[in-house]
Amino acid sequence: MNKLDTALNYETPEGIVLKLKIAGPLARAYAWAIDFFIRIGAMLAIASLFGYFGKAGIGMILVLSFLMEWFYPVFFEVYSGATPGKKIVGLSVVHDNGTPVYFASSALRNLLRVADFFPLFYCTGLISMSLNSEFKRLGDMAAGTLVVYKEKSNKLKEIKKYKAKQPPADLRVNEQQIILDFAERHQSLSKERCIELAQILYGFTGKRGSKAVEEIYSYANWLAKGK
């Protein structure tokens, strides 16, 4: 885990570092609630449509209800990486290494929802998520999947302009990346949060409070220009 946030860093065999920001129980519960009401609306429409066809219509309703309950999330996760509810919240389902989820893993994680639901209201799944740093429910553990926040637009990648200052010469590559990450995220952070995170980097800056934030911006501008 990165010291600056709850992002999980995964390094590919090619040396590319992928940043996966793990979604917690509240965001996932919100997405689930949206999907629940979408499914309820769809089932009401299906019942209205096939309710006029007697026993054959009831049979179709039962079949479509089964498919809606168990394969609604699988279809959307495989097709686009997220159900409509997850998309609205800004979440996505991926494998542990950051690659798009495929049918087998999506089907497994969703079929095991019955175990996560036990004994009531996803109690087991919530306990499981609270006991591991990646917020995995049982289905995620079995399928090797993560629920993460989707990458935001490049607007947050712009480093705040500040007078460039050469950082300490002994900074390692990963430490330089931490400084750049901090500066790139300035638009999404409050002033108080910036100061809080800057305190973590005291070893780099030797400064406290807003002075530490300014020092990091100065280092980031130097590093971004490749000096």
| pLDDT value for 93 | 94
Q: How far is CA 29 from CA 26, 36, 43, 191, 202, in A?
A: 5, 10, 21, 29, 36
| pLDDT value for 191 | 78
- pLDDT band for 213, please (50, 70, 90 cuts): confident
| pLDDT value for 2 | 43
Q: What is the mean pLDDT of residues 48-62?
A: 89
Lookup: tokens for 214: 């300014």
pLDDT at 220 over 80: yes
Q: Mean pLDDT across the chain, nearest whole number?
A: 82
pLDDT at 14 over 80: no
| pLDDT value for 106 | 95
Which carries the bigger pLDDT value, residue 155 or residue 35?
35
Q: What is the mean pLDDT of residues 123-139?
A: 91
At which residue do the structure tokens 């996932």 appear?
28
Which carries the bigger pLDDT value, residue 13 or residue 142?
142
Q: What is the mean pLDDT of residues 46-54?
A: 88
| pLDDT value for 170 | 66
pLDDT at 17 over 90: no
pLDDT at 204 over 60: yes
pLDDT at 136 over 90: yes
pLDDT at 33 over 90: yes
Which carries the bigger pLDDT value, residue 211 or residue 171?
211
| pLDDT value for 124 | 92
pLDDT at 156 over 50: no
% of the chain surpassing 70 pLDDT: 83
Q: Which residues of 131-165 are buried (b: 16+ CB within 10 A; e: fewer)?
A: eeebbbbbbbeebebbbbbeeeeeeeeebbebebe
Q: Which residues contact 151 (CB under 8 A, 6 or more apart)?
A: none
Q: Find out whether 215 and 165 touch, Cβ atoms under 8 Å.
A: yes
For the segment 79-105, what is each residue's pLDDT rounded down to a tens digit?
989 999 999 999 999 988 888 899 999
